[in-house]
Structures are given as structure tokens and as C-alpha cells.
Amino acid sequence: MKFSQFLKEDALELALPTDVRSAIIDKGGKIYQVGGAVRDEMLGKVSKDLDLLIVGIELKDLATLLTRFGKTNLVGKAFGIIKFVPTGATEEIDISVPRIDSKSTGKGHKDFEVKLGKGITLTQDQLRRDFWMNAMARDVETGEIHDIDKKGQTDIENKQIRVIGAQAFKEDPLRMLRAVQFAARFDFTIETETMKQIKKNVNLIKTVSAERFQEEFKKMFEKGTPSVGVDLLQQTGILKKLFPRARDTFSVEYDKLDKKGFPAFLAVLLRGHKSKDIQKAMKLSNEDTNAVSDVLKYIAMRDVDSDVGLVTFIKYSTPKGVENVNYALKAQRKVDIDYRLNSMRRVGKPTSMKELAVSGRDLQKIGLRGKMIGDTLYELLIHAIETGKNDKNYLLSRAKGKYGKS
């Protein structure tokens, strides 16, 4: 199959123009497309990835060559990766040279012992990857697929995730979570021996950095079927290792969660944990942490089904937290917050201080000052909700009777 059948020619030309490819070939290099895009094509999926591997040229020589045709950035020098933007283009692509990864090192397994060199072959580079379906390469010029013993294509046909090598999970424990993420994403199974290896090495998952863990967990939720992923996390023992009080069951209802509802997903799944513990384990942003906290608070509130309870929850929550509660309610086909607020408005009940018939300025006129204004407004809001009386004269009379000056 020609490359043009795999990736539109104009896309390839924009990413790596003909003159650049010719210069690489003249230098003795071979150009391959690698990674997820080759796998996705086999799956009949559209991929935005374009990762290229150049075999037969030293990294520094390749960087020098590419500089003649655009901007280069050796951000991944230790890993043999060059960020390249051709002259006249705006999008950058990853261009790498073959490497051998012996094992991950350092805190959180963020770093690896890497060997680079002109003599490293395509096959050696393929063998350092995680799963056979991700180890295929396509010759850009001929379209030929390089797939060791056709293991990648076989696994895709059999819809299974199969690890490369017995030491793969020891070298990088994150691969255990990646196996789950891919299975949930593509509706694949985890091959029997691979599953055994995950269970055998599951204790190592706690050594993975929070940032790397969150990235794969988020992909599982946003790109996959969450209930499938959670089931596999439980089967492998990964979930209990990371979150001992995680729920034993996870309803398929939550597969319908809006893909922006990652905090809701975490809160429902990990409701036995405090939001600060979840934040620490996943290095969540402050905004997401607060949203998780709000969903947990909603789940725990006893009077949240009352109008007063709902308004109190909203008052002390963040907008993203309220949004994520809505995602969770809608996924369960329960009456969501917006519907409940509109129902209150239809019978004349205020849902916030903005909808209250009296304002802070009105309270100033009857002599209230400072903190007392806010406290009184909130008390009047609760009273108006409970009684249905949101009348300015009535509420001012009540405020005068309790707090005002005659």
C-alpha cells in the first residue's frame, strides 16, 4: 500500500516536503511512519498522529540537515527526538532516530536509560515499544509495512493487547495502565500472558509519577469505555493498589458521562477517598480538584434533595463543580440541577441572592452594614425559598423586624 493511501499526500507534503525527504534519502536515511497512526489505520480509524522515524543517520547529522528546511528543536535530545516545523508550515511533527530503552529510572519512572546511534536498526527500535500493535512501521516511500512476524496485525485481528517482552512492565510500570487504557479504548481484551504479567508486577504501579498516571487515566475516560476500563483496573489489581477505598462496582450508566466530566468520573469512582488524596495521586489542577470536592460534597449531603439544600450546595461550590454534578445526574437519567432550579423559578422561588426581591442596597437603607448585609440576605433567601414569599416589602419588613433600626 502506498503512503498516499494511508495518509493524504498533502498532509505528508506539509509535514515533510519532498525536498526534505529527498535530502534524508540522499544522506542514506530510511523514513518510516511509526506509532499510533499505523495501528489506527489498521483499525480503520482516522489518526491525527504523524510520528516519523529516520533510520541510518546520526541524531546530530539529522538535526543539521533538517535545519536547512525549517525550524528544529531538540527537546527530546536524550531520547533522539526532534521537533520539526518545515519552512512555511505552522504545525510541528516529531522526528526521531532509532533507540534502545533498557529501563526506566528516577523518581516516578519519568526517565529511561537510552542508547542512540546510527547502527541501531528498525527492528531494535520496534522491540523497545510497549505492545505489538504499536510496534508496526510503514516505509514512507514504498508503503511497505514492517511488522515483526506479523504480530501487530495478528493482535489487531484478534482484538487483543499483547506486551513485547517479559521485562516490559518492570522497565516501565506505566505500561500496565496503558494496556487497560487501550483495551477500554478499542474494545480489546488483554492477552492471557500479558494479564498474568500485569498481576505479577502490579506493586510497581505505585512507582509511576502522578502526571503520567493522570494522562493515561484521562485517556481511558475520554477516549474509551469507562466501565470496561474500571473493570480491568479491578481485575488487574491496579485500582486497589492506587486507591484502596475505590468502589467495587462501577455502573455502565457512567459511560454516558459527558467527556468534560472527568472530575465527576473520579468522584463517583473514588468516593471513598478525600479530594486532596485524589489530587495528590493524579496531580490534578486546582480547578479539577475543587470540582471533585464539590461532587463528593453533593453525594454526601443529606438534604441536597430539598430546595434549600440545593441552593446551599451551589452557594459553596465552584461553577465547574456544579457542572460536573450535572454530568453525573444526567448520566444516571436523574433530574439535574438546571431542571430543579427552573422548577423553583416557575413557582416564584429565588435560586440565588441575585433573584431575591431585596438587595444589599435596600438593607443599607434600613441601617445594616458590613457582614450583616450578606448574612441577612442569605437568611432572607432561605426564608423566601421555604415560604415561597419573594416579595420586597414582605422581606424588608422581616429584615427590619429582626435587624433594622427604627
Which pLDDT score, from 0 to 100, does residue 392 have?
A: 95
**Angle, CA of 133, 136 and 138, to the nearest 5°:** 145
Fold of the domain built from segment(s) 159-242: Hydrophobic Seed Protein (1.10.110)
Domain extent listing, the chain: 1-157, 159-242, 353-402
Average of per-residue pLDDT across 166-195? 95
Pairing verdict, β 137-139 and 145-146: antiparallel
What is the helix, strand, coil percentage profile of the chain, to 5? 55, 15, 30
Q: Which of 309, 299, 287, 302 is nearest to 334 (CA)?
A: 299
Give bridge partners of residue 31 from the DSSP assignment. 54
**Range of lowest pLDDT (107-121, 252-266, 290-304, 323-337):** 107-121
Distance CA 149, CA 121 (A): 16
Environment class of residue 334 by beta-carbon count within 10 Å: exposed (0-12), middle (13-18) or buried (19+)?
exposed
Indicate if the pLDDT at residue 106 is higher than 70. no
Residue 47: CB atoms within 10 A of its CB come to 17
Model pTM score: 0.84
pLDDT of residue 2: 35
Burial class, 305, CB count within 10 angstroms (exposed 0-12 / middle 13-18 / buried 19+): exposed
Q: What is the pLDDT of residue 247?
A: 79
CATH architecture of 1-157: 2-Layer Sandwich (3.30)
Residue 123 has pLDDT above 90, yes or no: yes
Mean pLDDT of the chain: 90
pLDDT of residue 6: 42
* Cα distance between residue 21 and residue 35, in whole Å: 19
Q: Read off the pLDDT of each residue in 136-148 and give the average, rounded to a whole number.
A: 94
* Amino acid found at 75: V
The alpha carbon of 263 is separated from its chain's Cα centroid by a whole number of angstroms, namely 10
Q: Is the pLDDT of residue 82 over 70?
A: yes
